[in-house]
Structures are given as structure tokens and as C-alpha cells.
Amino acid sequence: KHLALYSKNPDIQEFFEEWGMSGALPPANEGEDYFMAVHTSIGGNKTDPYIRNDIHHDTTSKEDGSLLNQVTITRTHHWNDTERLRLKNLLASFGFKNAEPWLIDLLGGGPNTSMMRIYVPKGSQLVSSYGLEQSSSVLPQTSPLTLLHDSDLDLDYFSFTHTVYPGTSSTFSLSYTLPISLTFDPLSEYRLTVAKQPSDKNTTFTKTILSDPSLIHYRSFPEGLVETASGAAGETAPTVPPSQNA
């Protein structure tokens, strides 16, 4: 989303909301997973256009139905000599033919320090983190990993600062348990809502669902005949622990 609209006129605002133009986030549904990654630059420069975020969101179902999420984010600072030359040529076209190094760093060549918020379902519990220990020494306003609650959204979020330097990548991950679980009798569904930060166009999101090795995997549910790659038909059943599989 690159444009959000608001009006003090209730009728116009209702129109914006009905057509998804208000910028309102999708609600957190009870019993479902939720994810949103928000980054806000606090470094006092203009390096965000050179940052790419690659997010991997993995959910593992345990034998008892409990769910564990691992979120791995790689942030890459794509500043290089080509970008430096492009910026110098752009500045020259506006009359700044001998741009000072500090201006080049301000407009892209400096480190990117961002305040990160990872929104998750209320009641999530942190299990472990990786790659965040050394990222809080660049600015005085940096902060360590903290789990907080947003009462307006009724979501919890992990808050921390992260720095990535020009021409490098930095990866960090969070593992946390969800306040929801799956049942096998009757079978329940796993659902995930992913919200995107407005105006963010340099992020990719990859979702993977895993399960405990003790669980038996079936191709489809409900039970029925499905066509295999060879064209033959095979009967299928839901995923259940071995003890519950007839």
C-alpha cells in the first residue's frame, strides 16, 4: 500500500475503509496467527531506499498440537560504488557538482539503524533470539530486545534496534511459542494473517509450515480420492499422531 486516506467526514471515512484505502490494519482474529514487521529509521539519514528485507516465517506443529514460530530476517544494505556514482550524477543535475562526502553518506552511504517492531499474537512467548546481541551500540537511543503489548491493535510485539552497514547483510531470528494450538480430533486449521507496512516495497516474505517428525503426513483433507502425478487415485486422511491413526 502506497497511499492511505483519512477524512473527518464520517461518510467519506467509511468509504475509505470499505474500499481498503484507510490504511487500517487487518484485525487479529482469535485463535489465529498474525505477523507484521515494521521498521522505522532512527539514524538521521536517508538509507531506507537501499535496504532490502527478506523474511522467512516458519511454523512448526508439535505432536501435542502446540505451535512454534521462527522468524528469520535478513536486511541487506545495497549501497555500492554504482549507487554512489548515480547519486553524484543526480546531485550534479541539480547544481551540486562537488558534493561533500558527508552529504553522500547522509543520502545513502551511511549505516541504516532502524527501530524494529515484530507484531505477533497476544500471549506469544519468546524462546530464543539470534543476531541481535551486537546491534545496539551505534546510537544512544538503541534498545535491546523487549516484548511489549499494543492495546490499540490487541497484539504483542518484539521491539529492538538493528543496524546494517553499506554493502553488507545482517541476519537475525526470533523463536517464540504461540498462544494457540491445533487439535487432531476434531481437526483444526492453522490460519495466518500477514500485514504489510505501508509504502514498503523492498520486502519479500516466505512462509513454511513444518511438523513434528512423529506426525504422519497426508496429502489432503478431508478424506477422499486425489489424483497423483501418475494419474492414479489414492485415498488420503488428515495428519494425526501415530497413536491416533487407525
Burial of 102 (0-12, 13-18, 19+ CB in 10 A): exposed
- On the question of pLDDT at 121 being above 70, the answer is yes
What SS3 state is found at 244?
Answer: helix
Mean pLDDT of 200-214: 91
Residue 52's pLDDT band (cuts 50, 70, 90) = very high
Structure confidence at residue 181 (pLDDT): 94
Report which residue type is found at 115. M
- Report how far residue 103's alpha carbon sits from residue 56's, in angstroms, rounded to the nearest whole number: 35
118 Cβ neighbours under 8 A, 6+ residues apart: 35, 36, 37, 38, 71, 157, 158, 174
Beta partners for residue 234, in sequence order: 226
Alpha-carbon distance values, 33 to 11, 58, 67, 93, 154 (Å): 32, 12, 10, 49, 13
Residue 186's pLDDT band (cuts 50, 70, 90) = confident
Lowest model confidence (mean pLDDT) among 1-10, 55-64, 70-79, 117-126: 1-10
Residue 1's pLDDT band (cuts 50, 70, 90) = low
- Report how far residue 178's alpha carbon sits from residue 90's, in angstroms, rounded to the nearest whole number: 48
Q: How far apart are the first and last CA of the chain?
A: 48
